[in-house]
Chain A
Amino acid sequence: MPAQNNYPEIILSVDQINLSFGGVKALEDINFDIRKKEIFAIIGPNGAGKTSMLNVINGFYHPQHGEIRFKGLHRKQMRPHEAAVQGIARTFQNVALFKGMTTLNNIMSGRNLKMKSNIFWQALYYGPARKEEMENREVVEYIIDFLEIQSIRRTPVGKLPYGLQKRVELGRALAMEPDLLLLDEPMAGMNIEEKQDMCRFILDINEQFGTTIVLIEHDMSVVMDLSERMIVLDYGRKIAEGNPDEIRSNQKVIDAYLGVAHSN
């Protein structure tokens, strides 16, 4: 069945995206496709436009030109809320958790779109409201076990160390059961052990739930291990695309990005 090989393979295509802030061009003519169920990386030096790219994908920034196609749906602009409905979840470079809420409530809030019971049932905490709360709680408990954060269930997340906050944020994104998961530097500021845990979670999420993952990461060894394909951004332009071997041997990439290490 050749038709099946064409359409369902690509979950997201980015077409000629141009984004600028005043005079600053954050993204210029960016094109790439993300295949279903792959782990795809976006790398590049600081200020290259990686975070901006994620912000365009989940509707937080609106590009001046270009188009995003997600699950076959074309769009030029959409609200972040719509992106969530479509099945896009993400985490942030500088953790964006709900600081006053517990781990449990943060992750439960990720189930928001799955919960439908109306305010009258909720006021009584009975019938559909109660049932829905229990069902979603089960899913959340599964995620808590999966991420091994049982012991901080009731802790307000503002009080957690940074590494655990990143994990809770991943849990909240996961609770949305997304088709596409965008991770912005999920390992930044972590020690080796925490990084290893995070790598394991990312691989397990991809494998067990079949979630497509887009990953921004600075640690090259991590990126090369985790991702099947990647693009390299530099000053808002795409300078390379390919699998880890191709990227490693790409002269442009070595100059722009890895070159920094070489010159030392």
Chain B
Amino acid sequence: MFYREAGQFKTTYIADQELFPVKQDRWGLLIIIGFSFVVIPVVANDYWLQAILIPFLIFSLAALGLNLLTGYAGQLSLGTGGFMAVGAYSCYKLITIFPNTNVIVLILLSGFVAAGFGLIFGIPSLRIKGFYLAVATLAAQFFFEWLFARVGWFYNYNDSGAIEVPVRKVFDIAVTGPIATTEARYIVVLSIVTTLALIATNIVRGRIGRAWMAIRDMDIAAELIGIRPLYTKLIAFGISSYYAGVAGALYVFTYLGAAEVEVFDINISFEILFMVIIGGLGSISGAFFGSAFIVLIPILITNLPLILGIPINAATVEHFNFMIVGALIVLFLIFEPHGLAKIWSIMREKLRVWPFPY
């Protein structure tokens, strides 16, 4: 139907469609990735790695998954914790059944189990929307909490009821279990999160990402251009749950070391939803901003008074944390639904034209 000027556009489009069309952005990202892999493991101490960076990366991954579903495809979910639990327990069962398989492979595989259940719990999304869908996803949350607490097979009938992570080595270096160093665990988490973040970026800028946003913005019009609502929403549930599942497996295998199902309760679902809202709905980098924020706020509230010499107890810290995060969520929802990611991009835009106002 359309006349094409063969080849003429090609080179410009490839450049235009690049992940980061602006050279500074591309280099900026490469520098951040390089720095994270090379410099941080050398300079950061155990506290930074264990208390801040590892949980930050794992929560970023979970938030990224939820952002694909909620921010891009417009389907609200409160079941993130449940799907993280599926990932963690699947990984535990897989490592029991296949003790000699590379643990990183098992972590990545356990995401598929979560994805499968994500598909099943995504089916109601064809009929129900918004608040009601959120309630339906709560069913997933409570079902999995119940399942992993009550059915002994999932925790290998341990007396403690907890799953404990065995030592596993990759290239002769322990990456899970008590003897794994913080640095080794950090590198594993960083590799997986970086890879999955790049994949997410690819997905959202192609056909699937556009179909998600189309369903989110105007589902009727989306159907009229040939997008199938159920299929599109299910893909979102599947991929989102994959991310949650891998995050859940990493949470237990590379961060906690041992866990009961309570670590995946409804609170974690909300916490990850807050990260998405504060970081920015419909933004990959927003997931990282949001996670950094939620992880750092309590640390700041704990340490700031200490630095200033004001005594503060743990309960007060917790209260402050609730109040600040709560207030911020309300503010972001009202004033900047695109969150920190949007604020960052506005700042960057200003920086680019600086010192001229326009």
B203 touching A142, Cβ below 8 Å? no
C-alpha gap A143/B222 in the complex (Å): 19
Are A109 and B210 within 8 A (Cβ)? Answer: yes
Query: B213–A98 contact, CB under 8 A?
Result: yes
> Are the CB atoms of B228 and A122 closer together than 8 Å?
no
Selecting from A39-47, A83-91, A194-202, the interface stretch reads: A83-91
The segment from B10-18, B98-106, B245-253, B317-325 that touches chain A is B10-18
B217/A98 in contact, CB under 8 A: yes
The residues of A that contact B220 with a CB separation of less than 8 Å are 60, 80, 96
Among A80, A113, A122, A138, the residue within 8 A (CB) of B208 is: A122
Among B202, B208, B213, B228, the residue within 8 A (CB) of A100 is B213
Which residue in chain B gives the minimum CB-CB distance to A143?
Answer: B2
B9 at the interface (CB under 8 A from A): yes
A117 within 8 A of B: yes
Q: Interface size class for chain B?
A: 35 or more
B311-335 toward A: CB 8 Å interface, digit per residue (1/0)? 0000000000000000000000000
For A98, what are the chain B residues with a Cβ–Cβ distance below 8 Å?
213-214, 216-218, 221-222
Residues in chain A near residue B213, CB distance under 8 A:
98, 100-101, 105, 109
B1-29 residues with Cβ-Cβ distance < 8 A to A are 1-4, 9-10, 13-14, 17, 19
| A155 interfacial contact with B, CB 8 Å | no
Interface check A99, CB cutoff 8 A? yes
A88-121 with Cβ < 8 A to chain B: 89-90, 92, 96-101, 105, 108-110, 112-113, 115, 117, 119
Q: How distant is A213 from chain B, measured CB to nearest CB, in Å? A: 14
Residues of A within 8 A of B13 (CB): 134, 137-138, 141
Nearest A residue to B19, CB-CB: A125
**With A100-B282, A101-B217 in contact, do A209 and B207 touch (Cβ < 8 Å)?**
no
A260 on interface, CB distance cutoff 8 Å = no
Using a Cβ–Cβ cut-off of 8 Å, how many residues does chain A contribute to the interface with B?
46
* Complex partner residue of B9 from A83, A92, A133, A141, CB under 8 angstroms: A141
Given A105-B213, A209-B1, do A84 and B226 touch, yes or no (CB 8 Å)? yes
Residue of A nearest to B228 (CB): A81
Mark interface residues in B183-219 (1 if CB within 8 Å of A CB, else 0). Answer: 0000000000000000100110111101101101110
Which chain A residues border B205 with CB–CB below 8 Å? 125
Contact of A115 among B4, B9, B19, B207 (CB under 8 A): B207
Taking the closest CB of chain A, its distance from the CB of B354, in whole angstroms, is 21
- Are B10 and A134 in contact (CB-based, < 8 A)? yes
Return chain B residues, CB-CB under 8 Å to A80: 220, 223-224
Contact B202 A109 (CB under 8 A): no
Instruction: State whether B4 touches A97 (Cβ < 8 A).
Output: no
Given contacts A122-B203, A134-B14, contact A109 B211 (CB under 8 A): yes
Which residue of B206, B210, B227 contacts A125 across the interface (Cβ within 8 Å)? Answer: B206
Given contacts A100-B282, A133-B17, contact A112 B1 (CB under 8 A): no
**Contact across chains for B1 and A108 when beta carbons are under 8 A apart:** no
Q: What CA separation (Å) do A108 and B210 show in the bound complex?
A: 8
Whether a CB of chain B sits under 8 angstroms from the CB of A139 is: yes
The answer to whether A138 touches B226, judged by C-beta atoms less than 8 angstroms apart, is: no
The residue on A at minimum CB distance from B10 is: A134
Chief secondary structure at chain B's binding surface: helix
Residues of A within 8 A of B235 (CB): 119
CB closest chain-B residue, reference A59: B224
Distance (Å) between the CB of B147 and the closest chain A CB? 28
The residue on B at minimum CB distance from A153 is: B16
Contact B210 A133 (CB under 8 A): no
Contacting residues, chain B, for A100 (C-beta < 8 A): 213, 216-217, 282
A58 within 8 A of B: yes
Which B residues lie within 8 Å of A85 (CB)? 226
Chain A nearest CB from B207 CB (Å) reads 5
Option from A119, A124, A172 in Cβ contact (under 8 Å) with B225: A172
Contact B210 A84 (CB under 8 A): no
Q: Which residue of B lies closest to A120 (CB)?
A: B199
Known: A123-B202, A134-B10. A97 touches B218 (CB 8 A): yes
Are B224 and A119 in contact, CB atoms less than 8 angstroms apart?
no
Are A81 and B3 in touch, CB under 8 angstroms?
no
- Chain B residues, CB < 8 A from A92: 221
A interface residues (Cβ-Cβ under 8 A, vs B): 58, 60, 79-81, 83-85, 89-90, 92, 96-101, 105, 108-110, 112-113, 115, 117, 119, 122-125, 129-130, 132-134, 137-139, 141-143, 172-173, 176-177, 209
29 contacts between A and B (CB under 8 A): A58-B224, A79-B223, A81-B227, A81-B228, A84-B224, A85-B226, A90-B224, A97-B217, A97-B218, A99-B218, A100-B213, A100-B282, A101-B214, A101-B217, A108-B210, A109-B222, A112-B227, A113-B226, A119-B208, A123-B202, A124-B202, A125-B202, A133-B17, A134-B10, A138-B10, A139-B4, A142-B2, A142-B4, A209-B2
Residues in chain B within 8 A of chain A (CB atoms):
1-4, 9-10, 13-14, 17, 19, 199, 202-203, 205-208, 210-211, 213-214, 216-218, 220-228, 235, 282
